[in-house]
Copies of this chain bind each other. A is one copy, B any other.
Amino acid sequence: MFENLRLAGAMAIITLTSDFGLVDGYVGIMKGVILSIAPESRLIDLSHDLQPQAVRQAAFVLSRAVPFFPVGAVHLAVVDPGVGTSRRPLLVITPNAKFVGPDNGLFTFALDGPDAQAWLLNKPEYWLPQVSRSFHGRDIFAPVAAHLSAGVAPDRLASPLLDPVRLSHLAPVREANGDITGQVVYVDRFGNLLTNIPAGWLGGRRWECEIGGMRIAGPSDSYGAAPEDSLLLLISSSGTVEIAVRNGSAFKRLALGEGAEIHLLPI
Protein backbone atom coordinates (compact mmCIF):
# COMPACT_ATOMS: atom_id res chain seq x y z
CA MET A 1 0.00 0.00 0.00
CA PHE A 2 2.73 2.42 0.89
CA GLU A 3 4.60 1.13 -2.10
CA ASN A 4 1.79 2.37 -4.32
CA LEU A 5 1.78 5.73 -2.61
CA ARG A 6 5.50 5.99 -3.08
CA LEU A 7 5.27 5.22 -6.74
CA ALA A 8 2.34 7.51 -7.32
CA GLY A 9 3.83 10.36 -5.37
CA ALA A 10 7.55 10.20 -5.63
CA MET A 11 7.74 9.30 -9.27
CA ALA A 12 5.80 12.34 -10.43
CA ILE A 13 8.89 14.38 -11.18
CA ILE A 14 8.57 17.50 -13.32
CA THR A 15 11.75 19.36 -14.29
CA LEU A 16 11.61 22.99 -15.34
CA THR A 17 13.93 24.75 -17.81
CA SER A 18 13.48 28.30 -19.10
CA ASP A 19 15.04 31.64 -19.87
CA PHE A 20 12.73 33.41 -17.41
CA GLY A 21 15.39 34.16 -14.82
CA LEU A 22 14.70 33.85 -11.10
CA VAL A 23 13.94 37.51 -10.33
CA ASP A 24 10.48 38.17 -11.71
CA GLY A 25 8.57 35.26 -10.20
CA TYR A 26 7.56 33.68 -13.53
CA VAL A 27 9.01 30.29 -12.55
CA GLY A 28 7.18 30.38 -9.23
CA ILE A 29 3.95 31.12 -11.09
CA MET A 30 4.40 28.01 -13.27
CA LYS A 31 4.99 25.96 -10.12
CA GLY A 32 1.81 27.36 -8.55
CA VAL A 33 -0.14 26.28 -11.62
CA ILE A 34 1.40 22.81 -11.55
CA LEU A 35 0.76 22.28 -7.83
CA SER A 36 -2.83 23.42 -8.26
CA ILE A 37 -3.38 20.54 -10.70
CA ALA A 38 -0.87 17.92 -9.52
CA PRO A 39 -0.21 18.61 -5.84
CA GLU A 40 2.03 15.58 -5.39
CA SER A 41 4.44 16.44 -8.17
CA ARG A 42 8.13 16.90 -7.40
CA LEU A 43 9.47 20.06 -9.04
CA ILE A 44 13.14 20.22 -9.97
CA ASP A 45 14.74 23.26 -11.63
CA LEU A 46 17.31 22.54 -14.33
CA SER A 47 18.09 26.11 -15.35
CA HIS A 48 16.21 29.37 -15.62
CA ASP A 49 19.11 31.68 -16.40
CA LEU A 50 19.67 30.48 -19.94
CA GLN A 51 20.32 33.32 -22.34
CA PRO A 52 17.02 34.80 -23.45
CA GLN A 53 15.65 32.95 -26.47
CA ALA A 54 18.76 30.77 -26.90
CA VAL A 55 17.00 27.60 -28.00
CA ARG A 56 20.16 25.71 -28.89
CA GLN A 57 21.80 26.42 -25.53
CA ALA A 58 18.66 25.30 -23.69
CA ALA A 59 18.46 22.13 -25.78
CA PHE A 60 22.05 21.28 -24.81
CA VAL A 61 21.49 21.77 -21.08
CA LEU A 62 18.27 19.76 -21.18
CA SER A 63 19.69 16.91 -23.26
CA ARG A 64 22.61 16.53 -20.90
CA ALA A 65 20.44 16.39 -17.77
CA VAL A 66 17.57 14.16 -18.88
CA PRO A 67 19.46 10.82 -18.77
CA PHE A 68 20.04 11.27 -15.03
CA PHE A 69 16.36 11.49 -14.13
CA PRO A 70 14.08 8.56 -13.32
CA VAL A 71 12.16 7.02 -16.17
CA GLY A 72 8.82 8.72 -16.64
CA ALA A 73 9.85 12.18 -15.58
CA VAL A 74 8.13 15.09 -17.32
CA HIS A 75 10.43 17.78 -18.65
CA LEU A 76 8.85 21.21 -19.09
CA ALA A 77 11.02 23.61 -21.10
CA VAL A 78 10.14 27.12 -22.27
CA VAL A 79 12.65 29.03 -24.33
CA ASP A 80 10.23 30.44 -26.77
CA PRO A 81 11.08 33.31 -29.11
CA GLY A 82 7.97 32.49 -31.16
CA VAL A 83 5.42 32.78 -28.37
CA GLY A 84 2.26 34.47 -29.62
CA THR A 85 2.96 33.60 -33.26
CA SER A 86 1.78 30.47 -35.06
CA ARG A 87 4.49 28.44 -33.29
CA ARG A 88 2.81 25.20 -32.18
CA PRO A 89 2.70 23.78 -28.63
CA LEU A 90 4.43 20.39 -28.50
CA LEU A 91 4.48 17.18 -26.51
CA VAL A 92 7.22 14.61 -27.16
CA ILE A 93 7.02 11.16 -25.64
CA THR A 94 9.92 8.75 -25.55
CA PRO A 95 10.22 5.40 -23.77
CA ASN A 96 11.98 7.15 -20.89
CA ALA A 97 10.55 10.64 -20.60
CA LYS A 98 7.93 13.19 -21.61
CA PHE A 99 8.70 16.70 -22.91
CA VAL A 100 6.37 19.70 -22.98
CA GLY A 101 7.12 23.06 -24.60
CA PRO A 102 7.22 25.05 -27.80
CA ASP A 103 7.71 23.34 -31.17
CA ASN A 104 10.92 25.16 -32.05
CA GLY A 105 13.58 22.46 -31.97
CA LEU A 106 14.15 22.49 -28.20
CA PHE A 107 13.46 18.75 -28.07
CA THR A 108 15.36 17.72 -31.22
CA PHE A 109 17.58 15.35 -29.22
CA ALA A 110 14.50 13.55 -27.89
CA LEU A 111 12.78 13.41 -31.29
CA ASP A 112 15.94 11.88 -32.76
CA GLY A 113 15.98 9.04 -30.23
CA PRO A 114 14.35 5.63 -30.72
CA ASP A 115 10.55 5.35 -30.57
CA ALA A 116 9.91 9.05 -30.04
CA GLN A 117 6.41 10.36 -30.69
CA ALA A 118 5.51 13.99 -31.40
CA TRP A 119 2.10 15.31 -30.38
CA LEU A 120 0.39 18.62 -31.06
CA LEU A 121 -1.15 20.07 -27.89
CA ASN A 122 -4.61 21.03 -29.09
CA LYS A 123 -7.02 20.39 -26.23
CA PRO A 124 -7.53 23.76 -24.53
CA GLU A 125 -9.73 22.15 -21.90
CA TYR A 126 -6.47 21.06 -20.25
CA TRP A 127 -4.99 24.60 -20.34
CA LEU A 128 -5.73 27.58 -18.13
CA PRO A 129 -9.10 29.10 -19.05
CA GLN A 130 -7.47 32.26 -20.41
CA VAL A 131 -4.41 31.89 -22.60
CA SER A 132 -2.23 34.99 -22.87
CA ARG A 133 -0.15 35.76 -25.93
CA SER A 134 3.16 35.92 -24.13
CA PHE A 135 3.21 33.39 -21.28
CA HIS A 136 2.37 29.95 -22.63
CA GLY A 137 4.65 28.48 -19.96
CA ARG A 138 1.99 29.40 -17.42
CA ASP A 139 -1.13 29.00 -19.55
CA ILE A 140 -0.45 25.88 -21.65
CA PHE A 141 2.78 24.07 -20.80
CA ALA A 142 2.57 24.07 -16.99
CA PRO A 143 -1.01 22.73 -16.90
CA VAL A 144 -0.24 20.09 -19.54
CA ALA A 145 2.89 18.97 -17.68
CA ALA A 146 0.83 18.73 -14.51
CA HIS A 147 -1.93 16.69 -16.14
CA LEU A 148 0.65 14.34 -17.69
CA SER A 149 2.31 13.95 -14.32
CA ALA A 150 -1.06 13.21 -12.75
CA GLY A 151 -1.61 10.41 -15.26
CA VAL A 152 -3.74 11.93 -18.05
CA ALA A 153 -3.08 10.01 -21.29
CA PRO A 154 -1.38 11.86 -24.16
CA ASP A 155 -4.27 11.30 -26.57
CA ARG A 156 -6.56 13.27 -24.29
CA LEU A 157 -4.17 16.23 -24.39
CA ALA A 158 -2.92 16.16 -27.97
CA SER A 159 -3.04 14.74 -31.49
CA PRO A 160 -0.15 13.07 -33.34
CA LEU A 161 2.13 15.50 -35.16
CA LEU A 162 4.18 14.44 -38.17
CA ASP A 163 6.51 17.34 -38.73
CA PRO A 164 7.89 18.70 -35.47
CA VAL A 165 10.60 21.33 -35.85
CA ARG A 166 14.18 20.09 -35.53
CA LEU A 167 17.37 22.08 -35.01
CA SER A 168 20.07 21.57 -37.60
CA HIS A 169 22.89 19.52 -36.18
CA LEU A 170 26.45 20.64 -35.82
CA ALA A 171 27.98 17.21 -36.33
CA PRO A 172 31.65 16.35 -35.85
CA VAL A 173 33.45 14.80 -38.82
CA ARG A 174 36.18 12.17 -39.09
CA GLU A 175 38.20 13.09 -42.14
CA ALA A 176 39.83 10.63 -44.54
CA ASN A 177 43.31 11.31 -43.20
CA GLY A 178 42.25 10.53 -39.63
CA ASP A 179 41.83 14.13 -38.47
CA ILE A 180 38.69 15.12 -36.58
CA THR A 181 36.78 18.39 -36.99
CA GLY A 182 34.14 19.45 -34.50
CA GLN A 183 32.55 22.48 -32.89
CA VAL A 184 32.18 24.09 -29.50
CA VAL A 185 28.53 23.48 -28.55
CA TYR A 186 28.39 25.02 -25.06
CA VAL A 187 30.35 27.28 -22.74
CA ASP A 188 29.76 26.54 -19.06
CA ARG A 189 29.98 28.75 -15.97
CA PHE A 190 33.64 27.90 -15.49
CA GLY A 191 34.45 28.98 -19.05
CA ASN A 192 35.04 25.41 -20.17
CA LEU A 193 34.41 24.90 -23.89
CA LEU A 194 32.38 21.74 -24.47
CA THR A 195 32.58 20.26 -27.97
CA ASN A 196 30.51 17.73 -29.87
CA ILE A 197 33.43 15.31 -30.39
CA PRO A 198 32.78 12.00 -28.60
CA ALA A 199 35.60 10.81 -26.36
CA GLY A 200 35.33 7.40 -28.02
CA TRP A 201 36.66 8.86 -31.26
CA LEU A 202 40.02 9.55 -29.60
CA GLY A 203 40.65 5.81 -29.37
CA GLY A 204 42.96 5.94 -26.39
CA ARG A 205 45.81 7.65 -28.29
CA ARG A 206 47.22 11.16 -28.03
CA TRP A 207 46.14 14.06 -30.22
CA GLU A 208 47.09 17.62 -30.97
CA CYS A 209 44.20 20.03 -30.91
CA GLU A 210 44.00 23.26 -32.88
CA ILE A 211 41.54 25.85 -31.65
CA GLY A 212 41.63 29.62 -31.98
CA GLY A 213 45.19 29.56 -33.23
CA MET A 214 46.43 27.61 -30.19
CA ARG A 215 47.72 24.04 -30.10
CA ILE A 216 47.08 21.76 -27.14
CA ALA A 217 48.27 18.18 -26.71
CA GLY A 218 46.06 15.73 -24.88
CA PRO A 219 43.86 14.39 -23.57
CA SER A 220 45.06 15.16 -20.05
CA ASP A 221 43.85 13.09 -17.16
CA SER A 222 42.37 15.92 -15.12
CA TYR A 223 42.30 19.62 -14.42
CA GLY A 224 45.10 19.05 -11.94
CA ALA A 225 47.37 17.55 -14.62
CA ALA A 226 48.61 20.90 -15.93
CA PRO A 227 50.24 24.02 -14.52
CA GLU A 228 47.94 26.85 -13.41
CA ASP A 229 46.65 28.88 -16.35
CA SER A 230 47.62 26.43 -19.05
CA LEU A 231 45.13 25.18 -21.65
CA LEU A 232 43.98 21.58 -21.33
CA LEU A 233 42.35 19.08 -23.66
CA LEU A 234 40.12 16.92 -21.49
CA ILE A 235 37.28 14.42 -21.59
CA SER A 236 34.24 16.20 -20.14
CA SER A 237 31.90 14.68 -17.60
CA SER A 238 29.48 14.17 -20.49
CA GLY A 239 31.99 12.03 -22.40
CA THR A 240 32.96 14.59 -25.03
CA VAL A 241 36.13 16.56 -25.79
CA GLU A 242 36.47 19.70 -23.66
CA ILE A 243 38.92 22.61 -23.66
CA ALA A 244 39.65 24.05 -20.22
CA VAL A 245 42.12 26.16 -18.27
CA ARG A 246 43.18 24.96 -14.85
CA ASN A 247 41.67 27.34 -12.28
CA GLY A 248 40.80 29.68 -15.15
CA SER A 249 38.49 30.21 -18.13
CA ALA A 250 39.20 28.81 -21.60
CA PHE A 251 36.39 31.05 -22.86
CA LYS A 252 38.24 34.16 -21.71
CA ARG A 253 41.64 32.87 -22.76
CA LEU A 254 40.62 31.96 -26.31
CA ALA A 255 37.80 34.48 -26.78
CA LEU A 256 35.83 31.73 -28.51
CA GLY A 257 32.27 30.56 -27.93
CA GLU A 258 29.56 28.35 -29.35
CA GLY A 259 30.16 27.38 -32.97
CA ALA A 260 33.93 27.76 -32.86
CA GLU A 261 35.79 25.07 -34.83
CA ILE A 262 38.16 22.60 -33.26
CA HIS A 263 40.54 20.28 -35.15
CA LEU A 264 42.22 17.19 -33.73
CA LEU A 265 45.25 15.62 -35.38
CA PRO A 266 46.78 12.34 -34.22
CA ILE A 267 50.26 12.74 -32.79
B32 touches A44 (CB 8 A): yes
B247 and A53 form a contact (CB under 8 A) = yes
B68 adjacent to A29 (CB under 8 Å): yes
Cβ A47 vs Cβ B24 within 8 A: yes
Are A45 and B22 touching (Cβ within 8 A)?
Answer: yes
Q: In the assembled complex, how far is the CB of residue A204 from the closest CB belonging to chain B, in whole angstroms?
A: 15
Provide 21 A-B residue pairs closer than 8 Å at the C-beta atoms, listed in order of the A residue. Answer: A11-B39, A22-B22, A22-B47, A23-B188, A24-B186, A26-B188, A27-B45, A28-B46, A29-B65, A32-B44, A32-B68, A35-B70, A83-B222, A84-B222, A84-B223, A85-B224, A132-B235, A132-B237, A133-B234, A134-B237, A138-B237
Complex contacts, A13 vs chain B, CB 8 Å? 35
Report the bound CA distance from A50 to B21 in whole Å: 12
> Is A227 part of the contact surface with B, judged by Cβ < 8 Å?
no
Report the copy number of this chain in the oligomer.
3
CB neighbors of B among A63-84 (8 A): 64-65, 68-70, 73, 81-84
Q: Are B222 and A85 in contact (CB under 8 A)?
A: yes
State whether the Cβ of A201 lies closer than 8 Å to any Cβ in chain B. no
Closest 7 CB pairs of A and B: A84-B222, A135-B237, A10-B39, A32-B68, A85-B224, A28-B46, A21-B189
B27, B64, B134, B139: the one contacting A29 at CB < 8 Å is B64
The answer to whether A20 and B189 touch across the interface, beta carbons within 8 angstroms, is yes
Residue contact A31 to B11, C-beta cutoff 8 Å:
no
| Bound Cα distance A73, B31 (Å) | 13
